[in-house]
Amino acid sequence: MATSCLVCTGPVTQFLDLGRQPLSDAFPAPGDDLSREYFFRLALGQCSTCTMVQLLEVPPAERMFHQTYPYRSAGSAVMREHFARVAELLLDGRTDPFVVEIGSNDGTFLRTAAERGVRHLGVDPSGDAALEAAARGVRVRVDFFTEPLARHVLAEHGPADVVFSANTVSHDPNVNSILRGVAALLAPDGVFVFEDPYLGSVLANTAFDQIIDEHVLFFSARSVVGLLHRAGLELVDVERLPVHGGQIRFTAAHTGARPAAAAVDELLAEEDALGVHRMSRLREFAARTADRRRALVALLRRLRAEGARVVGYGATAKSATVANYCGLGPELVSAVIDATPAKQGRLTPGTHIPVLPPEAFGPGTADYALLFAWNHAEEIMAKERAFAEAGGRWVRYVPEVSVD
Ligand code: TYD
């Protein structure tokens, strides 16, 4: 099946189909009419013109990102520290900067600016998250970041010296409008810094659960160069990040405004050497994904036959893909543990496994914990050391299905 590219309208060829899937952050309440749950076909393809890897079907953005969107950046101590460090890095050495964040969520990144009295503005469609940001002293405009909105911000506040965005640029099918907006808002010597999942890491780790409704685009250095170019922006630096299982911090500027670091050409060359954009490589990833499903389902069925109690840990958006693709319901995974208040007491999207708070987990409560939040493994395993000490075992499926 071919459709047209969200970035350049070129032809997109499918290489992976993960089937019928719900919205990954839509947790129904037990009393809800479950027959009204929204489903779509989660399939991935590549544009043969600009190389961008992308979803073939994209649910409407307003259905995914709205007033009660439950994800919170502050839910991980590692991510809180990560964003504090990035904020310091971007603010240090600037006199009276104006900083804009696209997708400011609960203000975890901008709070550093707020605490230093730095002029700032977050833009985010979730009003609930914006209230939590306000409690951290962070100003948020509750809306989607688009080119018209960027022009309003420019008229009201003047040009931005720094535009930052984490896990948002790759989430929006209107990405060209975002980038034109950034280009309009950015001061002549300003920087646009964005962090998103990296296609190369997804392929290397067989991290098929990174494919969710919200991850509309999977960036590589090559596809980002083309994406930025369309808006008059240029990629001037790239840095690999260990967070969320492998991301890249892309730094962009107005074309010609700053010299590009050697790291950009190095990553472009590495991508060519690894064949990140080759259809054969993408199809091989799809085959490994099917292998992981077979192995995980076989393991969980065996554990059930042995009478073992299995729970999931982390009601991540990623876990919706795994659970729905592998057909994991409450009979295989009896509960999913998650520290996010807005998810607790609810059911997992599509598979309807109850979400319970961390207090329901611990020594003797389960024999196996399927680590859905594998990107936070260190933090979670340190916090839940007592589970393993009492003989509990952790199960992973990225990069391979394994029992710790
Ligand atoms: P995350 O992997 O950050 O993103 P996504 O939802 O996009 O896949 O989600 C982490 C989830 O795990 C989030 O719901 C919070 C939860 N969590 C805990 O319950 N305890 C923890 O210690 C950590 C770090 C996360």
Q: Is residue 196 domain-shared with residue 241, that is, in the same domain?
A: yes
Distance CA 251, CA 169 (A): 13
33 DSSP β-pair partners: none
If you measure from the C-alpha of residue 221 to the centroid of ligand 1, how many angstroms do you get, rounded to a whole number?
A: 27
- 298's CB contacts (< 8 A; 6+ apart) are none
**Residue 42 phi, psi dihedral angles, 5° rounding:** -95, 100
pLDDT computed for residue 255 by the predictor: 98
User: Is the beta carbon of 82 within 6 A of some atom in ligand 1?
Assistant: no
- List of residues 6+ apart from 2 with CB closer than 8 A: 11, 12, 13, 14, 45
Residue 180 lies in a domain: yes
pLDDT of residue 2: 53
The domain total for the chain is: 2
User: Are 118 and 266 within one domain?
Assistant: yes
94 and 205 inside one domain: yes
Does residue 308 belong to any structural domain of this protein? yes
Q: CA quadruple 212, 28, 70, 124: dihedral positive or negative?
A: positive
Domain presence at residue 17 = no
Is residue 290 situated within a structural domain? Answer: yes
Q: Which residue has the tokens 């596809």?
A: 223
Identify the segments of the chain with pLDDT beneath 50: 1
Write down which residue in 279, 310, 334 finishes a domain. 279
- Residues 190, 268, single domain; the answer is yes
- Whether residue 222 sits in one domain with residue 186: yes
Q: What pLDDT, on a 0 to 100 scale, did the predictor assign at position 362?
A: 87
Which residue, of 279, 304, 323, is where some domain finishes?
A: 279
- CA 366-369-371 angle, 5° bins: 165
Q: Tell me, yes or no, whether 4 lies in a domain.
A: no
Give the burial class of 173: count Cβ atoms within 10 A of its Cβ; 0-12 exposed, 13-18 middle, 19 or more buried.
Answer: middle
In-domain check, residue 158:
yes
| Residue 245 CB–ligand 1 contact under 6 Å | no
Q: What span, in angstroms and rounded, lies between the C-alpha atoms of 353 and 98? A: 44
Question: Is the same domain home to 263 and 335?
Answer: no
**Exposure on the CB side of residue 52, measured as CA atoms within 13 A:** 26
80 to 93, 106, 163, 231: CA distances (angstroms):
22, 11, 19, 31
CATH of the domain at 366: 3.40.50.720
Do 150 and 244 lie in one domain? The reply is: yes
* Substitution candidate for ligand 1 out of 316, 318, 324, 378 with most atoms within 8 A of CB: 316
Torsion of the alpha carbons at 216, 219, 225 and 230, rounded to the nearest 10? 0
Q: Residue 250: which CATH number?
A: 3.40.50.150
Q: Are 224 and 131 members of one domain?
A: yes
Last residue of a domain, one of 250, 279, 308: 279
- Residues, the chain: 404
| Same domain membership, residue 299 and residue 249 | no
315 within ligand 1 shell (Cβ under 6 A) = yes
Tell me, what amino acid is at 339? Answer: A
Query: How far, in Å, CA of 155 to CA of 236, rounded?
Result: 27
Sorted by sequence, the CB contacts under 8 Å of residue 387 that are 6+ apart come out as 361, 362, 363, 365, 366, 369
The pLDDT of residue 56 is 97
Which range of residues forms the domain containing residue 132? 73-279
- The reply to whether 348 and 298 lie within a common domain is yes
Are 206 and 263 found together in one domain? Answer: yes
Instruction: For residue 161, tell me if it sits in a domain.
Output: yes
Same-domain pairing of 122 and 188 = yes
